[in-house]
Amino acid sequence: MKAKYGIGFLAALAILMAALSGAYQMGYNKVKQEYEAKLETREQKIETVTTDGQASAEETYYICALNGYVVVYRSDKKSLYEYTNIRVDMLPLDVQKEVEKGKEVEGLKDVYGFLENYSS
């Protein structure tokens, strides 16, 4: 009879070890998946920051002359952005030459700064 109890005890111990091993493996896999999800979220945040940082370039505008007046074109030099009441012949000669060639300006702040300087 002792041999039967010994085999039963050994079988119970083997089942207990298998259950503990399975529980450990399931816990390990769960923690590993959570870690990978956090890591993936961090990588997405880093990519977003990088993308946002590169998207900050301002648009280029061109200040030109049209029918004797100063106008502002977008970067394609075809789309009229703003028509002004500033006459080209009222500008200083060096500025007149720049405007007739098409003065390149970066950003709306600089465009409006130029227009404020030469408006009456």
List the beta bridge partners of residue 62: 73, 104
Q: Rounded mean pLDDT of the chain?
A: 84
C-alpha distances in angstroms, 63 versus 6, 27, 49, 84?
A: 97, 66, 33, 10
Write the DSSP symbol of residue 62.
Answer: E
- pLDDT of 69-96, one tens digit each? 999 999 888 889 989 999 999 899 999 9
pTM exceeding 0.85: no
The rounded distance, in Å, linking the Cα atoms of 116 and 58 is: 20
pLDDT tens digits along 1-56? 566 778 888 888 999 999 999 999 999 999 999 988 888 887 666 554 444 434 44
